[in-house]
Structure 1
Amino acid sequence: MAAPRNLALLGTGIMGAHMARRLAQAGFVTTAWNRDRAKAEKLTPFGVSVADAPSAACEEADVVIVMLSNGPVVEEVLFSADAGGRVPADVMKPGATVIVMSSIPVETCQAQAPRFAARNVGYIDAPVSGGEPGAHDGTLAIMAGGDATLVEGLADVFAPMGRVTRIGPVGTGQMTKLANQIIVGGTMAAVAEALHFATKGGADPAAVRQALMGGFADSKILNIHGARMVARDFVPGGPAEYQLKDMRTAQTLAAKNGLRFTLLDCLVGMFGSMVDRFGTGLDVSGILREVEHRADGKEKP
C-alpha cells in the first residue's frame, strides 16, 4: 500500500520534538501541535508545520501520532473541544489511524480503540523506550498493540523513529512498556547502589563503570545513565516523574490481577521518595541522589 503522506504529531516535548523532526526529514508532510506553541515552532526549520489547535493538526492527517504526558491528557486532547471549538477525534478522516505513543494505562487504550473504530479510524498503542537519545537518533524500541495488518502497513511511518515490534491486540503495547519500566527502574536503582557502594569503599566510580562494561553487568543503563551518575548530570532526558508514573500504573494493574511484586513495590517507594524529596525535573539517573540519601543520610547536589 502507498505510504500515508500527511502526519500529525500531538506533543513536541523532549522526545516528541525529535520524532516530529525525523518524520519530516523522512519526507512526510508533518504538522505538529503543542500546548506551548514555542516548542513546536522550533521544528519549522526542519519543514514541520505548526497548528494552532489539535483539531487543525488532525483534520487532514492520514496518521495522528500522540506523544503527550499521561492518560488523562491524552483523553482530554483527543476527545474534548479544543481552542478552535472542535473535538479532534470528530474531525479525523475516515480511514485515518491514531498511534498513541504516550505511556498510558492499558485500560485507557482498550476504551479508546472502539470509540475510534465507531468513527472508522484505526487505533494502535505504541509506547516507546530509548529516551531522548533514542528519539534523537531514531533508535527507539516501539512496542505496538493493534491489528497486525494495520501495524505492518505503517512500517514506513515507524521506521524513522525506531524498531517496531507488534506484541498483540490493543493494550499489549502498553503492557510491554510497563514490563520495560520494571526492568529499567530496577536496573537504574541497582547501578546507582553499585556505584555508590564502590565510591564509599574508595573506588573511582568512573573506573568502576568502565570495568563493568562488557561483562555480565553491562547494560545501556550502565553505559548511558551510569555515565550521567558519575558526572552528576541529572538534567532530564527521561524525567523521573514519568518513570514513577509508569511503575505506579504497573503496580495498580498487578494488584487488579491479584499480584504483588516485592521489587516493584520497593522501586515505587524509592522513586516516589526521590520525587517527593528532590522535586520533579530530575532525570531518572537522579535516583542516585535517593540512594545516597538512604545509604548515608547526606544529600549531594
Structure 2
Amino acid sequence: MPTASDRRIALLGTGIMGSHMARRLAQAGFPVTVWNRSADKAGQLTRFGVKIAVSPSSACADADVVIVMLSNGPVVEEVLFSPDHAGKRPAETMAAGSVLVVMSSIPVETCQSQAPRLAARGIDYIDAPVSGGEPGARDGTLAIMAGGDVRVVNGIADVFAAMGRVTHIGPVGTGQMTKLANQIIVGATMVAVAEALHFAARGGADPAAVRKALMGGFADSRILNIHGERMVERNFVPGGPAEYQLKDLRTAKALAADSGMHFTLLDCLVGMFGDMIDRFGTGLDVAGILQEVERRSSGVQAGTVSAKVPS
C-alpha cells in the first residue's frame, strides 16, 4: 500500500455528502478522482485539484482506496458489480491489495454479500457509514463507524482522518449495524425536538427562545442545535434528506424482525417518517418531521403555527 503522501483515492458519488468528503480528501493532500452519475454535480471539485472520471470503472482502476458514497444498497450493488457504460464492472477493475470502503448506509446483509466477492480478488472491504450530516462532511467531523479487519481500518487511518473520527466496531456489517442504531436515536430525537417546539409554540412561547433556553441543559443535543434551528426557521431544504432517514429506519425494522425483535419506538418512527413523506413528498430535510407533528397534533394542520426567528 502506498504511503499517505501518494495514496490514490477514488470516490463514487458526489452528492450532498460525497462532494464535501472529496474536497476534504483533496485538501488533505490525497490525489482524488471522483465519479458521479450526474457529472455536473462533480465539476465544482476541479478547483480543489480533484479529477473527474468518465466512468466508475476508470475511477476505480488506478485507486488504492475506493470510497463509495451512493444512495442505497441496490445502487451500490449496481454501480460496483454491473457493467458501466465503458462495459466494465468497477469492482473487477480494482487492483489486488486495494481497499473498498462503503460509506453509504446499506443493509448489513449487502455488505456481508459483497465482502467475500472482493476478498476473492484480493481486495479488502470495509463498511464505514457515517453520522454528522452535511455539516459533519463539510467540516471533517463525521462520526465514522467501521466494520471489517481492524488492521485494514488502521492502515487507512489517514484517509478517515481527513473526513472525521473513525471507530472500529467489529467484523464486516457491524458498521452498518451501528449506523442503524444511530438512526433510531436520531429519528427519535428529531421527533422529540419537533414535538417539544410545537408544544411550546401552541402554548404561546416563542420557539426560537425555547430552543435557546434549552441549549446547554440536559435536553441539549446537536439535533436541537442544528435541526431545531431549521424547524424554527421552517427551513426544510435538505441537508439530510428525510427519505434516507426513512430508508434506514425501515432497514433497522426489517433486521430487527429477522432477529425476532420488535420495538415500539422504532415502529412509531417508521410510521411517522413514512406518513411525512407520503403527505409532504420527498426532497425535504429530516427537520421537516415538524410538519407531520403539526398535522397529528390535535387536528392542527401543518404550517399553521408560525415559528419566529429572533431578530
TM range (shorter): over 0.9
- Which of 132, 135, 151 pairs up with 1:133? 135
SS of aligned partner of 2:143: strand
C-alpha distance in 1 between matches for 2:267 and 2:206: 31
Instruction: Write the deviation string for residues 242-272 of structure 1: whole angstroms up to 9, x where unpaired.
Output: 0000000000000000000000000000000
Equivalent position amino acid for 2:210 in 1: V
In structure 1, the residue corresponding to 2:240 is in which secondary structure?
coil
The answer for the alignment partner of 2:307 in structure 1 is: none
In the alignment, which of 225, 228, 243 is matched to residue 227 of structure 2?
A: 225
Work out which of the residue numbers 290, 298, 301 in structure 2 matches 1:298: 301
Q: 2:53, 2:293 → 1: CA distance?
A: 43
For 1:151-300, list aligned pairs within 5 A. 151-295=153-297, 296-300=299-303
Superposition deviation, residue 42 in structure 1 = 1.2
One-letter code aligned to 2:296: R
Give the letter for the 2:172 counterpart: V
Q: Distance in 1 between matches of 2:257 and 2:302?
A: 34
Q: Which residue of 2 aligns with 1:145?
A: 147
TM-score normalised according to structure 2 size: 0.96
Kindly provide the amino acid, as one letter, of the partner of residue 299 in structure 1.
A
TM-score norm. by structure 1 comes to 0.99
Which residue matches 2:83?
81
Task: Please tell me the residue identity of whatever aligns with 1:209.
Answer: R
Q: Deviations over 1:31-79 (max 9, x none)?
A: 0000000011111001100001000000000000000000000000000
Instruction: Give the aligned partner of residue 308 of structure 2.
Output: none
Which SS does the other structure have where 1:275 is aligned?
helix
Look up the match of 1:51.
53
Displacement of 1:298 in angstroms is 1.1
User: Aligned equivalents of 2:301 and 2:144: distance in 1?
Assistant: 39
Alpha-carbon separation, structure 2, partners of 1:299 and 1:288: 8
Q: Which runs of 4+ in 1 moved over 4 A?
A: none
Distance 1:275 1:43 in 2: 32
Look up the equivalent residue of 2:302 and give its one-letter code.
E
| 1:103 positional shift | 0.0
How far 1:299 sits from its partner (Å)? Answer: 2.3
Deviation by residue 1:5-56 (Cα, 9 ceiling, x = unmatched): 1100000000000000000111100000000000111110011000010000
Distance 1:157 1:215 in 2: 35
Question: Following the alignment from structure 1 to structure 2, what is the Cα–Cα distance between the partners of residues 143 and 300?
Answer: 37
Query: Tell me, which stretches of 5 or more residues in structure 2 are unaligned?
Result: 305-311
Distance in 2, Cα, partners of 1:13 & 1:175: 23
| Aligned-residue offset at 1:297 | 3.3
Give the unaligned 5+ runs of structure 1. Answer: none
Aligned equivalents of 1:177, 1:299: Cα separation in 2: 30
SS of residue paired to 1:98: strand
Aligned residues: 301
Aligned partners of 2:219 and 2:79: how far apart in 1? 42
Q: Distance in 2 between matches of 1:32 and 1:139?
A: 21
Aligned to 1:64: 66
1:274 Cα offset (Å): 0.3
